[in-house]
Amino acid sequence: MLLRSWSFLLPLCCASATLLGARAAGAQTPLPEAEGAPPPAPSSPFTLGGLVEAYYQWNFGEPSNGLTHFRGFDSRHDTFTLSSASLDALWDDGELVGRATLQFGAASATSYAAEPSLPGAPGASDSSAEVWRYLQQAYAGYRVPVGEGLTLTAGLFLSPVGPEAMAVRDNWNWSRSNLFFGLPFYHTGLRASYPLSERWDATLAVYNGWNSVVDNNDGKTLSAQLNYHRPEVAAAFVYLGGPERAAGATEGRGWRHLFDAHATWHAAPWLSLAAYGDGGWEQTRFGTSRWGAGALYARVRLAPPLYLAVRSDAFWESTASGDAGEASPIFWPAPWVSSGTATLDYRAHERATLRLEYRHDRAGADLYFGGDVVGDGEAVPFVMNRRAQDTVTLGVSTWF
């Protein structure tokens, strides 16, 4: 059954390549560069921006609770939804660098769903998702005059893991892949970035952990990242390692190792391709938990304002178990999840995108909702009752 989501995209990819062989040349919008590198210096020392994303979605399973499960950023059936509104300020005067991005809407709640809740005291505030959810990123830094310039930054960063971005405009599809949803969204800590050459740059970092503004244990996560960039090719390689379970977790405090790599190739003016792989393991008291995930992307230009993007992804997880017990899953309450996605992207304006998307999700256990769903989501949790879900989404985003 896992192959069904992958095979769904093969006819679309073949048909698109045949159709577009004679299309006129045009510029492509690439997947975003890795977040680990320092942002490029703007033409002005200060840059302001903002965006709004909204969508309507129909889930063919018609779940009674109105939820499209494990999608996070497009999770509501049969309702108009404000997914995200954000305001962004970036400054870079050659020495001082910084950025602050405020976010509002359903997407901000999703991105902070795993943030630890830690109590406070009369002389110290508590920490929780409610405290931090309106900050997407916020950091300050200084470019040390060493060699080509060593950039030191500290604060809250978007994760360097994967090629997809928080903003829909920077992705080829409207929805994000299972890899984007399952892997970390953000980190808090210190980064050091340095350009090794015209095409290579490196970043070393120390973080509190995965999706932790305030750390949930007494360990830290180390990261190393290498980026490669040319006009037609971009690639990134990332390692994250550290204890990620909360203090006192029954699994112990063994290190979690993540290895991540992705590449984007603009093969022709009308065709761009990308590949993404991620895997790792975590040693626990019950044995070793492992995962592996991958995604393939293609984007073609049908006409000057119209693009077709397709994506297929799959995510496997093996949970540690032994005589002493079983570890809780890191990502999913299922051995695997997969999806196939096709997106039409209409760009009538340089600062607007209108997208129509079909997506098929499938899992190795009941992971989704459909029909009459048992539970009320409060006193009684909703009971997952489907192994697959199909959706059509119409979304719009504009920005400045």
Domains of the chain: 2-399 (2.40.160.10)
Tokens 């953000």, located at residue: 186
Predicted pLDDT of residue 344: 98
- State how far the Cα of 176 lies from the Cα of 295, in Å rounded to an integer: 11
Predicted pLDDT of residue 190: 98
Indicate whether 10 pLDDT > 80: no
* Continuous segment of H or E residues that includes residue 244: none
**Inter-residue contact 110 to 134 (CB < 8 Å):** no
Predicted pLDDT of residue 43: 65
**Inter-residue contact 35 to 157 (CB < 8 Å):** yes
Indicate whether 18 pLDDT > 90: no
Predicted pLDDT of residue 378: 93
- Using CB atoms within 10 A of its CB, is residue 354 exposed (0-12), middle (13-18) or buried (19+)? middle
Predicted pLDDT of residue 44: 78
What would the pLDDT profile of 175-187 be if each residue is shown by its tens digit?
999 999 999 999 9
As a whole number, mean pLDDT of residues 362-380 equals: 97
Predicted pLDDT of residue 5: 37
Predicted pLDDT of residue 38: 47
As a whole number, mean pLDDT of residues 246-275 equals: 96
Q: What is the mean pLDDT of the chain?
A: 90
Indicate whether 7 pLDDT > 90: no
As a whole number, mean pLDDT of residues 332-358 equals: 97
As a whole number, mean pLDDT of residues 348-361 equals: 97
Predicted pLDDT of residue 31: 60
What would the pLDDT profile of 294-342 be if each residue is shown by its tens digit?
999 999 999 989 999 999 999 999 999 988 899 999 999 999 999 999 9
**Angle 329-58-86 from CA coordinates, rounded to 5°:** 70
Predicted pLDDT of residue 252: 92
Residue 82 exposure: Cα atoms within 13 Å on the Cβ side? 9
Task: For the chain, give the percent of residues with pLDDT over 70.
Answer: 89
What would the pLDDT profile of 93-141 be if each residue is shown by its tens digit?
999 999 999 999 999 999 999 999 999 999 999 999 999 999 999 999 9
**Inter-residue contact 2 to 8 (CB < 8 Å):** no
- DSSP E strand stretches across the chain: 46-59, 80-92, 96-104, 135-144, 150-158, 186-195, 200-207, 221-229, 233-243, 255-268, 271-284, 287-303, 306-318, 321-322, 325-326, 336-349, 352-363, 388-399
Predicted pLDDT of residue 142: 97
Q: How confident is the model at residue 35 (pLDDT cuts 50, 70, 90)?
A: very low
- State how far the Cα of 297 lies from the Cα of 274, in Å rounded to an integer: 5
Predicted pLDDT of residue 331: 96
